[in-house]
Amino acid sequence: MEHFQLKNILNIKYMKKYSDNIQYGTAGFRTKANALEYILYRMGLLAVLRSKVKNAAIGLMITASHNIGSDNGVKLIDPAGEMLEASWEQIATNLVNVEDANLVSTIEHIIKEENINMSVDAIVITGRDTRESSPTLLNAAVTGIEVLYGIVQDFGIVTTPQLHYLVVCTNTKNNYGNPTLHGYYIKLSEAFKHVRQKQINNGQYVAELLLDAANGVGGIAAKEFQKYLGTTLAINIYNDGNGELNYMCGADYVKVQQVPPVNFSLKSNFRCVSIDGDADRIVYFYTDEDNKFHLLDGDKIATLIAEYLKELLKESHLSFQLGLVQTAYANGSSTDYILNVLQIPAICVSTGIKHLHNKALDFDIGIYFEANGHGTVLFKETVVKTIKEAVINPKRSTNEKEAASKLLNIINMINQTVGDALSDMLLVETILHAKGWDIMEWEKMYEDLPNKQLKVKVNNKSIITTANAGRQCITPEGLQDEIDKIVSQYKKGRSFVRPSGTEDIIRIYAECENLCDLNKLIIDVALLVYDYAGGIGPKPQL
Ligand code: G16
């Protein structure tokens, strides 16, 4: 019977069409949408195996997040909401790249190696972003899931963090929240409204913002949130789906280009927010009266959250170990501020949310953010329990209990399953509201070092390999020494290069004290990459 089922997995519609090897990258498989159908089919098969081996529901999200509209992608979400375990990324890469003739034997091999009991039920929770190619790709995944008798629970168009939330709620038997979109909106928005009611003096804070939704699924979710939030926060939505996805808008564009998005009605000194194509990243920005652009990115969000949590812990007389996890892209000033002013440990890990999430689990309260605005806060179960007890402990003072109650609501408004742009937005709004701050006040926490990012196209990006959380280039030999020579000429200079795991390019990052020097620094490093790693197309220039 089992053998008969496995033979059935060879489906003429989903034969392997491309010979290029594709890797399960920073956030799953990502490439041109028209190359993905058989990959989605095979990932449907794999999701069933993963669900059986974990005896729990698995998530399958179809999105290419910040990438251009003609790209698409797929990532699997493990039972506790985390990204697919690293050893299974390798299994996924292998499964997707085998020839059709070896598909059945590869599946058989995975079943044997992973000791999978095929009689266990499998549930795969699926979701997709708004890309035109997503419904076709979903069909391919569903066919793969059903041929192995997996049960599909499809939630249609959702943000990536919503899908993570749905997986966790399903697997924790509603303990984390109700496994519905209504459950998601109500949990986060009720917690947000609850904290607000208790706060009276709001200083410079105005309960209104301008949101750039990248023409993606976040626009839909933001409109839904607005219904639940009522008048507590006015969200004016731009790039809400009528324009091209991520094109000159969205969190990635605003962060990398350091300019406001297009199709956006700027008001000077007014709080603006950009999220990305699947609503898991967020940055804030504003333009001042001289039309100068100011960015408050993931580092600024992380430090704001860390400072506020530290204050609440102090007020409630609760003592937990706080930690902040960043990547090499974190601005040097933010790391200095975390270590020296906040006096919280700051850890640097490789790019990719899975690395940050895993490290943040080491702390009682682990805050993690990539500079690009991807992040959240994780609270240990024991921490939540202690805070709950503090709220109702008659021996504690009113002040202590109130601070503990705020902490509890903050925990409820945070999507701990993964970085969630809209949940993060509610959290930032809560903190600014509590402090009575406008965006300029927040910006003053510390001054970013001038920084820039560039992309260089090369023949084969895997020629560049890195170590030390992406900060040191191992191959091509000699490249790192040359980068070091350049960087040493600049005060507070820092630069690194690494292959992107989501785009077919090499990313270059640079920062230094003097804005005028920055362009020279980054162009010199980019030219090195172009020469050492086989650059193609025009040479890098600003
Ligand atoms: C994904 C990952 C992020 C990562 C980003 C860029 O974001 O989830 O952790 O920072 O890609 O990765 P890379 O530099 O390897 O291209 P998203 O928003 O595109 O899913």
What's the structural domain count of the chain? 4
- 417 in any annotated domain: yes
Residue from 387, 432, 385, 386 nearest 406 by CA: 387
Around ligand 1, the residues with Cβ closer than 6 Å are: 26-27, 65-66, 276, 280-281, 351-353, 370, 372, 374, 500-503, 507
- 34 in any annotated domain: yes
Whole-number pLDDT of residue 1: 41
Domain containing 45 — which CATH number? 3.40.120.10
Residues in the chain: 542
CA of 466 from ligand 1 middle (Å) equals: 17
- 302 and 399 assigned to the same domain: yes
- 119 and 49 assigned to the same domain: yes
- 266 and 314 assigned to the same domain: no
- 439 and 463 assigned to the same domain: no
Contacts of 230 (CB under 8 A, 6+ apart): 193
- 435 and 464 assigned to the same domain: no
Instruction: Please say if the pLDDT value at position 5 is more than 90.
Output: no
Segments forming the whole domain that contains residue 376? 298-443
Indicate which atom in ligand 1 lies nearest the CA of residue 372: 10
Element (H, E) at 160: helix 160-171
Instruction: Please say if the pLDDT value at position 91 is more than 50.
Output: yes
CA of 117 from ligand 1 middle (Å) equals: 34
- 180 in any annotated domain: no
- 538 in any annotated domain: no
Determine how β-strand 472-475 pairs with β-strand 465-467: antiparallel
- Enter the DSSP assignment of 101: G
Query: What mean pLDDT is predicted for residues 457-461?
Result: 94
Which of 395, 421, 443 marks a domain boundary?
A: 443
Query: What mean pLDDT is predicted for residues 337-355?
Result: 97
- 355 and 373 assigned to the same domain: yes
Nearest CA owner, ligand 1 atom 20: 65
Q: At 19, is the pLDDT very low, low, confident or very high (cuts 50, 70, 90)?
A: confident
Whole-number pLDDT of residue 37: 97
- 41 and 80 assigned to the same domain: yes
Over residues 507-522, the pLDDT tens digits come to: 999 999 999 999 999 9
Q: At 542, is the pLDDT very low, low, confident or very high (cuts 50, 70, 90)?
A: confident
- 327 and 419 assigned to the same domain: yes
Nearest CA owner, ligand 1 atom 5: 352
Instruction: Please say if the pLDDT value at position 409 is more than 80.
Output: yes
What CA–CA distance (Å, rounded) separates 4 from 294?
A: 61
Which of 443, 460, 486 marks a domain boundary?
A: 443
Which of 393, 424, 443 marks a domain boundary?
A: 443
- 39 in any annotated domain: yes
- 435 and 502 assigned to the same domain: no
Whole-number pLDDT of residue 431: 97
CB neighbours of residue 91 within 10 Å: 20
- 391 in any annotated domain: yes
Whole-number pLDDT of residue 4: 52
- 539 in any annotated domain: no
Which residues are annotated as catalytic?
65
User: Number of C-alpha atoms within 13 angstroms, CB side, residue 534?
Assistant: 10
Instruction: Please say if the pLDDT value at position 2 is more than 70.
Output: no
What CA–CA distance (Å, rounded) separates 497 from 464?
A: 8
- 437 in any annotated domain: yes
Q: What is the DSSP string of 443-487?
A: HTT-PPPPEEEEEE-BS-GGG-EEETTTTEEEESTTHHHHHHHHH
Whole-number pLDDT of residue 197: 83
- 163 and 28 assigned to the same domain: yes
- 241 and 263 assigned to the same domain: yes
Whole-number pLDDT of residue 8: 85
- 93 and 148 assigned to the same domain: yes
Exposed (0-12), middle (13-18) or buried (19+): which is 228, by Cβ within 10 Å?
middle
Over residues 493-506, the pLDDT tens digits come to: 999 999 999 888 99
Ligand 1 pocket test: which of 23, 26, 353 has the largest number of ligand atoms within 8 Å of its C-beta? 26
Over residues 163-221, the pLDDT tens digits come to: 999 999 999 988 899 999 999 999 999 999 999 887 766 899 999 999 999 999 999 99
CA of 256 from ligand 1 middle (Å) equals: 13
Over residues 258-308, the pLDDT tens digits come to: 999 999 999 999 999 999 999 999 999 999 999 999 999 999 999 999 999
Instruction: Please say if the pLDDT value at position 11 is more than 70.
Output: yes
Token output for 110 = 């995975």
> CA-CA distances (angstroms) from residue 283 to 82, 176, 368, 414?
22, 26, 14, 16
Radius of gyration of the chain (CA): 23
